[in-house]
């Protein structure tokens, strides 16, 4: 399957899901920079131009982000590029290792304070559950984003994505050919997932992948929970948070995670390889959203515009992720073609849970996961 078809397949799978499924002290200065109420702006047109939005955001002078690890999908380079482009805006990076659910909790806890997050980066399940927290906003590139990868009202928008994979230290393990291989004695105390599946999108997706690879479908995550229960009973499940440091040290030698995150660990361990299992693959995009109570509403919207620029989309690509505008950029000749063609081959069949399936899986995980893995 070509890289281009891989992007299309990921988008097509995601389409099933979406089809079924107080101001800071700087605000007075921002108001003087633009006659638009940034908190109610739903597109760039409401500001007049990008220059007008930039002026309003610079007047605010702050941007609060949360849960953006610098080694996640090249976020470090994305943050640095925004800071270099807009040195007048200070980026406040909070809780880089927080889960999607914890982002929402932080917004609720800090509501009305200038410390509240301005923007969110969320897994689809958490995004679907919390649309009442988001402001409608459609970026300038809105029309080029596939309909299946955005909320029709602009409450959240897919930005970068990939496929659930298995990363492994090839100096210690042979390439796994099937999910069941991980139950072997050679994997004792070695297999980790990235977070808690009741809170973290990547861990949720790991159970989803195990479900479809273990004879089930997304209507019932039971087979996936059963697999990890069996993995735990065999002594092979490693209950340790995965970081670049744990991969480099060898503490987490086998990791379920998004392919674009697993790929980056080659910089931590030269023997690190990534496997997308044959058969049915599990795909997902992470979604951007603006906090409806953002303390810096203009900066929040400028951040969104930047994330969907060619510059930022190519930075996702450099991080091994599939940017949502990849096909449009390829057609326009603005994508980094070498990086685009170097993406791992996509699965032949791809699934993404619908909103109903995600909700049911979340309930099942909430009631059974802790008991299943001890």
Q: Is the pLDDT reported for residue 329 higher than 90?
A: yes
Q: Residue 315: is its pLDDT beyond 80?
A: yes
Question: Could you read off the pLDDT of 146-172 as tens digits, one per residue?
Answer: 888 899 999 999 999 999 999 999 999
Q: Please state, in angstroms and rounded to a whole number, the distance separating the CA atoms of residues 155 and 145.
A: 14
- Going from the C-alpha of 311 to that of each of 37, 48, 305, the distances in angstroms are 27, 22, 11
**What does the pLDDT look like over 195-214, one tens digit per residue?**
899 988 899 999 999 999 99
pLDDT of residue 93: 98
Dump pLDDT digits (tens) for 165-197. 999 999 999 999 999 999 999 999 999 998 899
For residues 25 and 122, the model is more confident at: 122
Domains within the chain, CATH numbers bracketed: 44-160+284-343 (3.40.190.10), 162-283+351-373 (3.40.190.10)
pLDDT tens readout for residues 42-69: 999 999 999 999 999 999 999 999 999 9
The per-residue pLDDT for 190 is 98
| Whole-number average pLDDT of the chain | 90
Q: Residue 201, Cα to own-chain centre: how many angstroms?
A: 8
Q: How far are the Cα atoms of 6, 139, 175, 288 from residue 38, in angstroms, in the given order?
A: 37, 14, 51, 17
pLDDT of residue 65: 98
Pseudo-torsion of CA 176, 181, 185, 188, nearest 10°? Answer: 70
Q: Which of 123-132, 277-286, 364-373 has the highest mean pLDDT?
A: 364-373
Query: Per-residue pLDDT tens for 258-268?
Result: 999 898 899 99
CA distance 66 to 104: 10
What pLDDT score was predicted for residue 129?
Answer: 87
> Does the reported pTM lie above 0.85?
no
Question: How much is the pLDDT for 6?
Answer: 55
* Residue-level pLDDT at 10: 67
Residue 2 has pLDDT above 90, yes or no: no
User: How far apart, in Å, do the first and last CA atoms of the chain sit?
Assistant: 40
Over residues 231-266, the pLDDT tens digits come to: 999 999 999 989 999 999 999 999 999 999 898 899
pLDDT band at 24 (very low <50, low <70, confident <90, very high): very low
pLDDT of 301 over the 80 cut: yes
Task: Tell which residue, 77, 330, 279, has the closest CA to residue 164.
Answer: 279
* Structure tokens given for 42: 């739903």
Give yes or no for a contact between 302 and 51, defined as CB atoms under 8 angstroms apart. Answer: no
CB-CB contact of 253 with 232 (8 Å): no
Planar angle of CA 321, 324, 326, nearest 5 degrees:
80
CA 254 → CA 69, 105, 193, distances in Å? Answer: 20, 30, 9
Segment among 1-15, 73-87, 147-161, 333-347 with least mean pLDDT: 1-15
pLDDT tier at 1 (50, 70, 90 boundaries)?
A: very low
Provide the pLDDT for residue 11.
61
3-state secondary structure the chain: CCHHHHHHHHHHHHHHHHHCCCCCCCHHHHHHHCCCCHHHCCEHHHCCCHHHHHHHHHHHCEEEEECCCCCCCCHHHHHHHHHHHCCCCEEEEECCCCCHHHHHHHHHHCCCCCCCCCEEEECHHHHHHCHHHEECCECCCHHHCCHHHECCCCCCEEEEEEEEEEEEECCCCCCCCCHHHHHCHHHCCCEEECCCCCCCHHHHHHHHHHHHHCCCCCCCCHHHHHHHHHHHHCCCECCCCCCHHHHHHCCCCEEEEEHHHHHHHHHCCCCEEEECCCCEEEEEEEEEEEECCCCCHHHHHHHHHHHCCHHHHHHHHHCCCEECCHHHHHHHCCCCHHHHHCCCCCCCEEECCCHHHHHHHHHHHHHHHHHHHC
- 283 φψ region: left (φ > 0), alpha (ψ -120 to 50), beta (else): beta
């Amino acid at each position: 399957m070509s890289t281009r078809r891989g992007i299309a397949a990921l988008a097509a799978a995601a389409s099933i899901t979406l089809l079924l499924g107080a101001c800071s002290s700087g605000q007075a200065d921002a108001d003087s920079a633009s006659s638009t109420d940034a908190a109610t702006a739903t597109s760039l047109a409401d500001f007049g131009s990008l220059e007008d939005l930039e002026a309003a955001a610079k007047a605010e002078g702050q941007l609060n982000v949360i849960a953006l690890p610098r080694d996640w999908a090249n976020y470090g380079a994305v943050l640095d590029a925004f800071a270099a482009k807009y040195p007048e805006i200070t980026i406040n990076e909070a809780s880089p290792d927080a889960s999607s659910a914890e982002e929402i909790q932080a917004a609720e806890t800090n509501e009305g304070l200038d410390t509240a997050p301005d923007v969110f980066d969320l897994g689809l399940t958490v995004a679907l559950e919390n649309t009442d927290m988001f402001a409608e906003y459609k970026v300038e590139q809105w029309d080029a984003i596939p309909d299946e990868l955005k909320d029709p009202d602009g409450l959240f928008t897919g930005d970068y994505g990939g496929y659930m994979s298995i990363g492994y230290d090839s100096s210690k393990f042979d390439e796994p050919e099937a999910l069941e291989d991980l139950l072997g004695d050679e994997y004792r105390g070695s297999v980790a997932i990235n977070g808690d599946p009741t809170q973290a999108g990547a861990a949720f997706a790991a159970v989803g992948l195990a479900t479809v690879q273990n004879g089930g479908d997304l209507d019932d995550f039971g087979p996936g929970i059963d697999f990890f229960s069996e993995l735990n009973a065999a002594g092979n499940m490693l209950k340790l948070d995965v970081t670049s440091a744990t991969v480099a040290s060898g503490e987490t030698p086998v990791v379920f995670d998004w392919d674009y995150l697993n790929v980056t660990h080659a910089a931590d361990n030269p023997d690190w390889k990534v496997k997308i299992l044959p058969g049915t693959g599990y795909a997902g995009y992470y979604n951007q959203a603006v906090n409806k109570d953002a303390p810096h509403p203009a900066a929040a919207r400028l951040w969104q515009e930047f994330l969907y620029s060619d510059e930022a989309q190519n930075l996702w690509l450099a991080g091994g992720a599939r940017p949502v505008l990849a096909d449009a950029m390829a057609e326009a000749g603005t994508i980094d073609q070498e990086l685009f063609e170097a993406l791992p081959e996509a699965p032949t069949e791809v699934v993404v849970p619908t909103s109903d399936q995600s909700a049911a899986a979340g309930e099942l995980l909430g009631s059974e996961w802790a008991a299943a893995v001890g």
